[in-house]
């Protein structure tokens, strides 16, 4: 009876659909993580993390963040014009970015970080296009409550990426299935250094998976919305661009600050420490974010749609916000307590002794991870409540504290552990303030 009542709620059904699909999508990379830790070195994961950071950083600017305005109009005609506007900006951006890379490639190679990526730098515009296309189409599907399309894309993307990761990793280490089994369960092999084929397995697998993810969403979009493309015209797109100008002028700056932080952490760890340390950190972040991220992303997409709908209808959001916060405290606290006390032992047992230090990083960063977990599902509320300017100013402080923590740890103590302790301390108080402020603005 309780289950029947639960599924009477459209919100609960939508969350369950997204969550179930995301669990399937993330179960594969989580399951193969102990395999990948035997096939690729921390240094290779470090270069992969650097590539991903650059893609995510430039993706912020690639659409002017207009895709998030797709959710706001009541009329579908206006929404599809915003979608068209987002894709036009994206295509122009990627073409210009390709030209810049081609012209300044030799200059970029003067920097160690870009030398680590080597020729993969030419693939950055493609990855940016794919990531941003998925973002645009995901918001479109969220608007129409077509969450199964999002799920199909996620599952396809992670499945293909994981297959490529394993197959290329086996070729790299000259393993067949029998030897792979022995490597996992009887021999604790630990690859060293950076290899060309290793980067093909990690970065190439990522790109191929993204291509499949976009393809699945495009097929679904064409099937259901092809006739609506004729609604797109220059006049409507221009009007939408002006109406939602806060997205490229304010929201881009906010999002770029978040990405300056994540990319900055990557570059600072590479600068002060090594690709090896970056690999350990990025692996720790990846393993923690994979299972918890699927909860957050599933809930956040439905929360965004439901909150926007409630606000448009003049309803207060505070009760909904508080209920969500309590739900995430109850879900997250037991998990983070376990990792906070036993992270090093868990990583060493599952992924091999080489990665136990990565688990120690998780222990140091647990307060930050936990507070970020609580806050993330409701992060789009300032967009709905027209509080973009203030949240941008607050985020500058939070992101600066993270970067300063790594700088202090590297410059004054030559210790990444000190940097992580400072991050956890400052971010606990930063997110505490945000949580109380969100409670205030939703009243």
DSSP classification of residue 297: H
| CA 286 – CA 36 distance, rounded (Å) | 12
Over the chain, what is the mean pLDDT?
82
Q: What is the mean pLDDT of residues 192-202?
A: 84
End-to-end CA, the chain: 33
Residues recorded for the chain: 443
Reported as type and span, the H/E element at residue 22 is helix 10-39
HSE, CB side, 13 Å, CA atoms: give it for residue 403. 16
Mean pLDDT for 360-371 is 92
Is the pTM of the predicted complex or chain greater than 0.85? no
Query: How confident is the model at residue 1, as a pLDDT?
Result: 47
Q: Examine the pLDDT at 145 and tell me if it is beyond 90.
A: no
Nearest residue to 123 via CA among 211, 40, 43, 64: 211
Alpha-carbon distance of 235 to 349, in angstroms, equals 60
| Structure letter (DSSP) for residue 73 | -
Residue 187: left if φ>0, alpha if ψ -120 to 50, beta else—which one? beta
Tokens of residue 154, six digits = 């996620």
Q: Confirm if 83 and 136 have CB atoms less than 8 A apart.
A: yes
Model pLDDT for residues 19-32, shown as the tens digit of each residue: 666 667 667 777 78
Contact by Cβ (8 Å): 330, 337 = no
pLDDT at residue 360 in the model: 92
Would you place residue 47 in the very low, low, confident or very high pLDDT band (cuts 50, 70, 90)? Answer: confident
Average pLDDT over residues 65-90: 86
Determine the Cα–Cα distance for residues 44 and 18; give it in Å rounded to an integer: 32
pLDDT tens string 339-355? 899 988 888 888 777 78
Report the pLDDT value the prediction gives residue 99, as an integer from 0 to 100.
95
C-alpha dihedral sign at 276, 282, 286, 287: positive
Q: What is the pLDDT of residue 291?
A: 62
- pLDDT value at residue 163: 92
d(CA 157, CA 25): 8
Give residue-wise pLDDT tens across range 235-283: 888 888 888 887 877 777 767 777 778 788 888 988 888 878 888 888 8
Confidence (pLDDT) at 438: 85
């Amino acid at each position: 009876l309780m289950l029947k009542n639960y599924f009477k709620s459209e919100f609960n059904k939508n969350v369950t659909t997204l969550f179930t699909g995301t669990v399937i999508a993330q179960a594969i990379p989580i399951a193969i993580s102990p395999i990948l830790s035997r096939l690729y070195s921390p240094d290779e994961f470090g270069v992969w993390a650097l590539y991903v950071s650059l893609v995510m950083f430039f993706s912020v600017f690639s659409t002017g963040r207009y895709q998030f305005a797709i959710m706001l109009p009541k009329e579908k005609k206006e929404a599809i014009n915003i979608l068209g506007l987002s894709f036009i900006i994206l295509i122009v951006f990627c073409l210009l970015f390709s030209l810049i890379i081609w012209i300044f490639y030799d200059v970029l190679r003067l920097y160690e970080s870009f030398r680590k990526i080597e020729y993969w730098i030419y693939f950055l515009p493609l990855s940016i296009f794919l990531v941003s296309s998925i973002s645009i189409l995901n918001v479109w599907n969220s608007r129409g409550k077509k969450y199964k399309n999002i799920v199909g894309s996620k599952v396809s993307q992670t499945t293909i990426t994981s297959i490529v990761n394993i197959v290329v990793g086996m070729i790299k280490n000259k393993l067949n299935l029998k030897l792979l089994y022995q490597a996992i369960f009887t021999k604790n092999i630990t690859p060293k250094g950076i290899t060309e084929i290793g980067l093909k397995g990690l970065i190439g697998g990522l790109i191929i998976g993204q291509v499949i993810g976009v393809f699945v969403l495009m097929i679904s979009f064409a099937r259901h919305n092809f006739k609506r493309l004729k609604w797109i015209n220059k006049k409507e797109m221009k009007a939408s661009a002006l109406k939602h100008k806060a997205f490229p002028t304010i929201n881009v700056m906010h999002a770029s600050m978040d990405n300056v932080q994540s990319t900055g952490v990557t570059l600072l760890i590479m600068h002060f420490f090594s690709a090896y340390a970056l690999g350990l950190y990025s692996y720790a972040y990846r393993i923690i974010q994979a299972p918890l991220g699927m909860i957050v992303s599933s809930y956040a997409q439905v929360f965004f749609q439901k909150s926007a709908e409630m606000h448009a209808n003049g309803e207060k959001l505070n009760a909904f916000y508080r209920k969500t916060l309590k739900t995430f405290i109850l879900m997250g606290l037991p998990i983070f307590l376990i990792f906070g006390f036993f992270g090093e032992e868990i990583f060493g047992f599952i992924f091999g002794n080489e990665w136990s230090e990565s688990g120690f990083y998780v222990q140091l960063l647990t307060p930050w991870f936990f507070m970020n977990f609580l806050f993330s599902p409701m992060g789009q509320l300032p967009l709905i409540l027209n509080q973009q300017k203030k949240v941008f100013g607050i985020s500058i402080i939070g992101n600066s504290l993270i970067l300063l923590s790594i700088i202090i740890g590297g410059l004054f103590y030559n210790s990444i552990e000190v940097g992580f302790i400072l991050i956890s301390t400052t971010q606990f108080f930063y997110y505490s303030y945000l949580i109380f402020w969100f409670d205030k603005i939703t009243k």
